[in-house]
Amino acid sequence: MGKKLLIIDGLNVIRRLYAALESEQDLVRRVERTQSIAIDALVKLADQFNPSYAVVVFDSNGKTWRHKLYPEYKLGRVPMDDALLDALPDFAKVFRFNHFPCLRLDGWEADDLIATLAVKAAHNNVQSYIVSTDKGFTQLLDDERILQYDYFAKLGYDKVWVPGKYGVEPHQLVDYWALVGDTTNRIPGVKGIGPKTALTIINSFPTIEEIYANLTFFSERIQSMLAGGYEQCLQSRSLVALKTDVDVGVRLSQLRYSAKTRP
């Protein structure tokens, strides 16, 4: 059996577990229960995937390069409860105690760190399993050595799944999202262009550059929508594209995982 890397999107998992306990009025108790359930989730995932390596990745505090490029990035998103935010260092301590390495890097979102780890692992012929409900990771699935798993829906996603969901290949998603936008992160698309129109455009010319170099190919209606939107499309594509070359300062050997070492 080949080597496997289990990459867990820490906040993605924690926030959903925390939200599921909204009936718990005692915030301290709610955080404690979330922590306990999160550990159970990590152990279940490790037992399911039997990884050679594992890591829980967290977002850094404060602004990232995306906020600097586009100040409205994620603007309006419901903030995390203070009780949960303050407890995040404790989550990391408990995860480490259970022999799950944790990674956080100032100035970087977890998404970019996760993408970098998965791509680097793939280059070393290590199969990566990204545990997250974030659709942004589907852009990485063109590499068959990278898979995504939704712990809550118990569903796995690969490169075959992507065209059925979006109508494009994984590597085309960043250009597709540049056209339709990403409402979750407040990243704008081109006004008036929805998924169907975007597919028509992408299936004719696969990149933003080629689309705008061939505007006269499209109907007057599509031309009018695309007019003047080139720079915005480039910016939106830059925002949705995950970085895969972050200097994470961690070697794969440092993420070695063994169920035998668990308490």
For the chain, domain boundaries: 4-162, 168-240
pLDDT for position 75 = 85
Do 4-162 and 168-240 agree at the fold level? no
Residue 41 C-alpha from the chain's centroid: 18
pLDDT for position 20 = 96
Q: Which of 239, 121, 220 is nearest to 177 (CA)?
A: 239
pLDDT for position 78 = 82
Could you give the CA distance from residue 16 to residue 110 in angstroms, rounded to a whole number? 16
Could you give the CA distance from residue 49 to residue 3 in angstroms, rounded to a whole number? 11
pLDDT for position 1 = 52
Tally Cβ neighbours within 10 Å of residue 155. 11
pTM of full prediction above 0.85: yes
Superfamily of domain 168-240: 5' to 3' exonuclease, C-terminal subdomain (1.10.150.20)
Could you give the CA distance from residue 63 to residue 115 in angstroms, rounded to a whole number? 19
pLDDT for position 263 = 55
| Close Cβ partners of 194 (under 8 Å, ≥ 6 residues apart) | 180
For the stretch 209-218, contacts whose Cβ atoms lie closer than 8 Å and that sit 24 or more positions apart, written own/partner, are: 211/175
pLDDT for position 258 = 82
Could you give the CA distance from residue 180 to residue 172 in angstroms, rounded to a whole number? 13
Q: Got the DSSP string for 16-73?
A: HHHHTTTT---HHHHHHHHHHHHHHHHHHHHHHH--SEEEEE-PPSS--HHHHH-TTT
Could you give the CA distance from residue 224 to residue 239 in angstroms, rounded to a whole number? 24
pLDDT beneath 70: ranges in the chain: 1, 260-263
The arrangement of secondary structure in 4-162, i.e. its CATH architecture, is 3-Layer(aba) Sandwich (3.40)
- Residue 133 corresponds to which amino acid? T
pLDDT for position 137 = 98
In the chain, DSSP assigns E strands to: 4-9, 53-57, 102-103, 127-131, 146-150, 155-157
Separation of first and last alpha carbons in the chain: 26
Joined tokens for residue 215:
């505007």
Measured CA to CA in angstroms, residue 4 lies from 58, 110, 121 at distances of: 20, 20, 9
